[in-house]
Amino acid sequence: MPDIAIVPRPASVEELEGGPFLVDGSTAVVVEQRPELIQVAVLSADLLGRVAGKPVQVRYDDVEGPGAVRLLLDDAAPEGDEAYSLVVTSDGVTARAREVAGLVHAVVSLRQLMACNGDEGASVPAVRIEDAPRFAWRGLSLDVARHFFGVEDVKVVIGLMKHYKLNVLHLHLSDDQGWRLHVPSRPNLTRVSGQTAVDGDPGGYYSASDFQTIVQFAAARGVRVVPEIDVPGHVNAASHAYGELNPSGEPTDAYTGIEVGFSRLHADLPATTPFIEAVFGDVAAMSPDEYVHIGGDEVLTMEAEEYASLVGTAARVVRAAGKKVIGWQEIAHTPLEPGTVVQFWDPRVDPSVFVEAAKAGALFLMSPASKSYLDMKYDADFPLGLEWAGCVEMRDAYDWEPTTLIEGMPPESVVGVEAAVFTETIRTLDDLTTMLLPRLAAVAEVAWTAPELRDWDDFRARVAHQGAFWDRLGLAWHPSTQVDWER
């Protein structure tokens, strides 16, 4: 398997006899002339051409002859919206899927198989692959509130996500340190709190146009964008912009530290419910995704009844806007509508409440901090990151099973896996990619590949080839000593 060094590992790989396929100036991506296929073809031709160093054409007529990469929507393809088959021979490449998302995954696998041949282009070994993801939700939560990352940086992250077949970008858009999405009903949120960040570093925010740019760029690559507005805690940026959210009626001071749990909304203030209704209504209207994340974590100074009331208000507004609710694991302590997604992050607490929530119809997204929080240090001496959940090395991020994290949880209640990166210590794109890479690839394989096919030694042999790819992209990354890197 290491000779076919695809990450995450496909469900089935068969090496075929015969020579490799050559991607060069005569290669063309061939599709039917349908808008959704044309978009995939253009992106695929650009990707393959950049790897090969040769221009790759797009054609809409399936002419005979070698040199074609055919992308076919086919009801006979493997079952599943994201499943695909990929057959490579010396004469050409055929990718089949039932939906466009599957074709995108097939092209990603093809790209990972390509080896540069200098001026001759790139070669791809003869192979047959059939593949499908284990979990439908395979995500990355990106905190842009502690430190802001602009549209171009987010595009880089989306590109990495797609390379490892992740399909949900969860944007953590508000926290104590800053507010990062302009909402029409409360413009002071970005006018005032869009300017702040940890340690007094530069702030920033997304306009409505910026957010749509991110959403559209992601959608073209098969990635959904789920926005998060965190309530009823982590709200100092909101109370700094709007004093009526405080009992005193005065704005709080800007906060540039990294402590948590000190800020909160107040259910009995007349401004609170209108604020929640306006903000979540605006965010739901701006976002095409079916989910809106309501936060709900680390509210340390609020009684349970008030917490449940405020979480319920946010959930009601989200549902009234036609969206589904997701929140951090603390919302499991409140009444939940069936189908609500609970994002599990802290295994140190009593699991019984989560088991009961699952039995009542809640679904669970697994993000255990000790495994999938990629802002944790690699080791105690690493210059970036925190270590409240311990250090997370490559094998920590790889060796865990999502369906057994919570004892007694029905496996069918687990809808997916999501890595997270919070940015208290992360200021630049280089910082960000250093923390993501190589661990993002490990979590991606946990999310995609069936457990019986996952093996640490096999993974470390395959991921060793990824460093050269990151180098070609000019990305900063951490050469973990747990892997013998091929560079």
pLDDT at position 4 is 85
75 and 102 in a common domain: yes
Find all residues with CB under 8 Å of 43, minimum gap 6, and list them.
107, 220, 221
In a domain, 103, yes or no: yes
* Total structural domains within the chain: 2
The reply to whether 395 falls in a domain is yes
Same domain? 74 vs 210: no
Q: What integer pLDDT is reported at residue 78 of this predicted model?
A: 94
Flag whether 287 is in a domain.
Answer: yes
Whether residue 145 sits in one domain with residue 50: no
The crossing angle, in degrees rounded to 10, of helices 456-463 and 439-448 is 130
CA distance 382 to 376: 9
Give how far the C-alpha of residue 226 lies from the chain's centroid of Cα atoms, to the nearest Å: 9
Question: Which CATH number does the domain housing residue 20 bear?
Answer: 3.30.379.10
- Phi/psi-derived region of residue 165, left when phi > 0, alpha when psi is between -120 and 50, beta in every other case: left
Predicted local confidence at residue 1, as pLDDT: 42
Q: Consecutive 10-residue runs of the chain (487 residues): their mean pLDDT? A: 82 95 95 93 96 94 78 94 97 96 98 91 96 98 98 98 98 98 98 98 98 97 98 98 98 98 98 98 98 98 97 98 98 98 95 97 98 98 98 98 96 98 98 98 98 98 96 97 93
Residues 225, 248 within the same domain? yes
Instruction: Confirm whether 288 is domain-assigned.
Output: yes
Q: Does residue 478 form part of some domain?
A: no
Query: According to the model, what pLDDT value does residue 2 have?
Result: 45
- Tokens (6 digits) for 367: 């993000």
Clarify whether residues 252 and 348 are in a common domain.
yes
Q: Identify the bridge partners of residue 12 per DSSP, sorted by sequence position.
A: 130
Q: CA nearest 64: which of 32, 30, 38, 97?
A: 30
Is residue 485 in a domain?
Answer: no
Does 259 reside within a domain?
A: yes
Residues 108, 166 share a domain: no
Q: Is residue 482 part of a domain?
A: no
Last residue of a domain, one of 111, 131, 151: 131
- The reply to whether 172 and 210 lie within a common domain is yes
The catalytic residue positions are 298
What per-residue confidence (pLDDT) applies to 3? 66
pTM assigned to the model:
0.97
Q: What is the CATH number of the domain that holds 319?
A: 3.20.20.80
Q: Are 210 and 104 within one domain?
A: no
C-alpha to C-alpha distance for 479 and 272, rounded to whole angstroms = 47
- Domain identity same for 73 and 160: no
CA atoms within 13 A on the CB side of 211: 26
* Final residue before a domain boundary, out of 105, 131, 157: 131
Residue 75, SS3 per DSSP: coil
- The answer to whether residues 108 and 184 belong to one domain is no
- Same domain for 107 and 248: no
Q: Which domain holds residue 60?
A: 12-131
Q: Are residues 311 and 198 in the same domain?
A: yes
DSSP code, position 372: H
Q: How do residues 326-375 score in pLDDT, each as one tens digit? A: 999 999 999 999 999 999 999 999 999 999 999 999 999 999 999 999 99
**Residue that finishes a domain, picked among 131, 154, 187:** 131
Q: Give per-residue pLDDT as tens, 107-149.
A: 999 999 999 988 889 999 999 999 999 999 999 999 999 999 9
In whole angstroms, what is the distance from residue 253 CA to residue 91 CA? 66
Report the pLDDT value the prediction gives residue 296, as an integer from 0 to 100. Answer: 98
